Amino acid sequence: MIASSLLQGRGWLVAVESAVVSFRTPDQVVEDEPWESTGSATLAAVTPWRTFRWYKGQKHYSGTYWSSTMRDHVIYESRLELARLLFDDFAPSVRRILAQPFLLKADVEGKRRKHIPDYLLITGDGPVVVDVKPRHRVTKPEVAFTFAWTRRVVEARGWQYVVWSELPPAVLENVRFLAGYRRDWLFDGALLDEVRAMGLDGRTLGELGELLPEREPEEIRSVALHLLWGGEVVTDLSTPISSRHVLKVPQ
């Protein structure tokens, strides 16, 4: 048995046991492997278990996003999933992002339950399983029940489980804006080194254009925004990015 727990807000005492996982790799489909013994290195190479579909009148906005973390496209099934994908692509600790990574099955209250999480993140702090859901739907009984038993199964092996709704609007808009500067091949390496050597710590974005007069200010600002995306410098993202924003070099 993996766990027995009282699910918050509902008073359910739920026994979860015998979890198995199914996943796809570029070469094969693996079904019903024991969850506890399926390593993160194996799951880090999976392809989506379920791909999205397009049909007339669909409510969700599906698509693909080019991830600078993956150096490849990652799928999403809604605008909210795309927002989370942007957030994870921006996060320095995230090393891999796997969409629709596996089918998890577990016996819960005497019934076989199934769930496909939205993302699996391989991070410097260990694997993180993420489900994305609008805040108004998280408390629906069937949704809360699924997330509760999924959490027990994931956390039982020491992994993190996150149910995510949305970022504060200003932070999301800033991350979305910075994502426009994520493609490193568009930036001249020599100029990147020049800007790094300027001593960015404590300077504002507006100051940077004056420090290399032989370069166009817009070119310098674009490089600084690329460095912000890459985490080489940071700034306050709680307000819209402007020329007044102060840059800091992480310690």
Q: Sign of torsion, CA 115 6 128 40?
A: negative
Q: What is the DSSP letter of 134?
A: -
Using one digit for the tens of pLDDT, what is the confidence trace for 22-60? 999 999 999 999 999 999 999 999 999 987 666 666 666
Residue 163: C-alpha distances to residues 86, 102, 117, 137, 227 (Å)? 16, 16, 10, 11, 29
The number of C-alpha atoms within 13 Å of 212 and in the hemisphere containing its C-beta is 20
Rounded CA-CA distance 54/75 in Å is 13
The partner residues of 234 in beta bridges, in order of sequence, read: 248
Residue 58 is which amino acid? Q
Using one digit for the tens of pLDDT, what is the confidence trace for 144-170? 999 999 999 999 999 999 999 988 899
Structure token pair of residue 22:
């199914």
